[in-house]
Homo-oligomer: A and B are copies of this chain.
C-alpha cells in the first residue's frame, strides 16, 4: 500500500512537471554548438525573465535574458558563484520602431522587438567547462550554431567580469531586474 501511494505521488509529480514544462522552441534536435557541445534547450522561450537590455551600434537589438529554474533561484538569492546546472539564455530581436504606437503618441519614441536575431546560452558546469571559468557558451542563429571562430570569442570577453562569476551586464547573464 505504501509503495502504491509513493508511486502515485511520484507519478502525479512527474505529470505536474510535464504540464508545467514549456513546449520546445527552436531547433532543439539540431546541431550542437562547437567547442562546448551545447544544443538549443527545449522550452527556453518559456523560462522566467532575468532582465532586458538594448544594444546600439552594429548589434542594434532589443534583448531579453531568461533563466532556467536554477538560474532564477540563484539570481533571486543574489549569491555568487552560480551553481552547476545554471542556464542563462539571451534572446535578441531586431530593434524596430512601432509605427502604430508612434501614431498614437504623435511622435517617434516607441521601439519594439522585430524579427528574431538569435539566441545565446551560458551553461554552468564547473568540471566540464573548467577551462572557461566553469561556463559553456553557445550562439545560435536561425536555429543553427554559429561557427567555432565565433565561439572562441565568448570567454575572452566574459573574463572581464570574473568578479561576477563571468556573467556580463548585458547579453547572456546580467543583473536581475527587480
Q: Which residues of A contact B (CB under 8 A)?
A: 1, 4-5, 8-9, 12-13, 15-17, 20, 22, 45-46, 48-49, 51-57, 59, 62-64, 66, 72, 91, 93, 95, 98, 100-101, 103-105, 107-113, 115-116, 157, 160-161, 168-171, 174-175, 177-178
8 Å CB contact of A109 from B45, B55, B93, B168: B55
A8-B5, A13-B12, A16-B17 known; A169 and B49 CB under 8 Å? no
Tell me whether chain A's interface is mostly helix, strand or loop, or mixed.
Answer: mixed
Contact B170 A101 (CB under 8 A): yes
A129 to chain B, nearest CB (A): 20
Supposing A20-B20, A161-B100 touch, asked if A56 and B111 sit within 8 A by C-beta, the answer is yes
**Complex contact B66–A112 (CB within 8 A):** no
Q: Which residues of B contact A98 (CB under 8 A)?
A: 53, 169-170
